[in-house]
Each structure stands twice: as structure tokens, then as C-alpha cells.
Amino acid sequence: MSSADVLAVLGGEESKSETAGSMVEKTTAYELLRVEASLWPQIRELIEGNIRNAPSERQKAVGPSELGTDCIHCLAAKLAGWPRKRGTAWLPFIGTCVHEHFERMFAGLNPQGFDPDVKHRPYETEMRVTVGELHGLAGGYPVKGSIDLYDRASASTVDWKIVGATTLKGVKAHGPSQTYMVRASLYGIGLMNAGEKVERNCIFFLPRNGISLNDALPVELRFSDKPGLWALARAQMLVTFMDLIEQQDGPDVRDAWIHLLPVSATHCFDCGSWPDDSSNGIPELAQQPATKVPEQWKRLISLLEPTMREVTDMR
């Protein structure tokens, strides 16, 4: 064997030894350095506490986001002021972070300096508007909401939706849900109430799990007040029915009547968060209220429409 062969063998053995040593080091370093995750519970509680105390989580009045739901049970429970029990909303919090960044970004694109007429600004972020009013025997209150972005040049509302792949697929196949359509319409109504011009409603579905905006799905709609007015009228009907039942038979019968209302035929994030949802939103297994509901009140349920009727004119 030549000296070159000997050196090659020695070099190969040395390389194998280094590789083996490296593997041992990579395997054992984590095990040697790992300690019990004692800090995480404290950090998690701080994060979740901050999310729970956000204004959107503490909001009790019904807003544009709830009025378009096809879950009449949850809409009635919200209007009746039922207490809710929910876990920390992590996915919506991700969307909130994106909204906050866009709010700062578009506000910074406006000309800076003193502006006596704010209507000269091209962008309005988180613009508060009043979309309508609900009235009951105990009083009434305005229904308010915040528009993510108002583009004054095109007279357009913009709603950012940070969504997963399932929602993106559903919107591509069937278009935006009734909840999104009603919310956009209500924002346009709110702009008209504020004396602003509105021609278009934009719903921009941004991919929560995508690596770029190539997967974004922009939906732009000609403004129509019909979806929003339908939702406001339905909510007012619910309030009137519940007031009537409570005045004649008391709050227990009213609550038992709410329990009988239909839930969403598709999916509702609020189901399972109410006192009568003892089986996590499965109506067949939920505990039945002890209070009986008179037939005259049951007949009112058929008058409440979960979804808008098909219309031929949306002007």
C-alpha cells in the first residue's frame, strides 16, 4: 500500500469520527440544556389576559359583524345580553395584529400636518360609523362599527379578513358568506349616515397560512343597502318578539324560547358559548330548559329568516 493510500484511509476514518462526534453533540446538546418549561405558563397567561381584555372581546352591544349571521339562536342570545364563556380567541388575535399594522400604515400615507377638513384625507382607518338603531321596551341603542379602511378617492370600504385555506376555498367556490355581505353593506350605510360617498364594498381575504399575497382573494362589490337593511329589520323583529314574550310571560319563558331558535346550518363560531349550550353547541344533546314555551310564541319562530331571500334587484 502506498503512502497516498494510507493517508486516504486515515483521512476517511478521521472524517467518520468527526461526523459521529458531531451527531452525538447535536443529539445530546438539546437534552443536556433542556429544562422544565416553567416560564411559559406565566407568559401564556399574560398573552391570553391581554387578548381577553381587548375592546373587541369586551364588547357587549351587537355590531355589524353579528347582524348578518345565519344562526338565529346566537343572534337572539347576543341581543338578550346572555353571558358568554369562550376560550381565548387566538386566531382572531392574529387578524387583530394585521389590522393594527395596516391602520398605522395607511394613516401614515395621508399627508401629514394640520388639516382643518379631515375629508381631504385619502384614507380613513378604523372609521367609526353608526349603521342604524335597535329599539326595545327598555330603551334603544345605536348600532356602531369600525370600517377597517375607507378609500375616499374610490368611495370604497375595505374589510381585511385574515383567513385559513378552508375559508379561501369556500369563498372561491361560493362567494362571501352572508355575514361578510351584510357587514360590508352596513358599513356603506354607516358611511352614508356620516355624509360620505360610497360606491364599492371591498372584502380582501388575506391568507393566514400563505407565504405570499399570491393566495389572496380580493372581492369587490357594488354597494347595496339591501343586505344591511334586511339584517337590521330582522334584528329589530327579534328584539320586539323577545320583549313581547318577556312582558307577558317573564324572562324565563323568553330564554326558553331563545333555546328553541334554529342554529346555523353551516358553521357558527359562537355556538357552544352560551348558557344553554351544555353540550358544546350540539342542540340534540343540550340540556332542555325546564320552562315550557306556549305555542303562540313557538309560531313566531317561522317568521325569522336565517338567510336573505333571493333578490333580482340589489340597487
Integer Cα distance of 19 and 23 in angstroms: 6
Task: Give, in degrees to the nearest 5, the angle at Cα 142 between 141 and 144.
Answer: 135
224 lies in a domain? yes
312 lies in a domain? no
Please tell me the predicted confidence (pLDDT) of residue 265. Answer: 85
**Listed residue (97, 96, 107, 194) closest to 144, CA to CA:** 194
The residues that bridge with 150 in the sheet, in sequence order, are 124, 157
265 lies in a domain? no
49 lies in a domain? no
Give the CATH number, domain containing residue 191. Answer: 3.90.320.10
185 lies in a domain? yes
The residues that bridge with 143 in the sheet, in sequence order, are 132
Q: Which amino acid is residue 12, in one-letter code?
A: G
What is the longest distance spanned by two Cα atoms in the chain?
A: 108
Q: Which residue range is the domain that position 192 belongs to?
A: 87-228
Structurally, the chain folds into a number of domains equal to 1
Please tell me the predicted confidence (pLDDT) of residue 1. Answer: 56
Interval 145-160: pLDDT, tens: 999 999 999 999 999 9
65 lies in a domain? no
128 lies in a domain? yes
Please tell me the predicted confidence (pLDDT) of residue 60. Answer: 66
Q: What residues in the chain have per-residue pLDDT under 50?
A: 6-7, 9-10, 21, 279-285
Please tell me the predicted confidence (pLDDT) of residue 7. Answer: 46
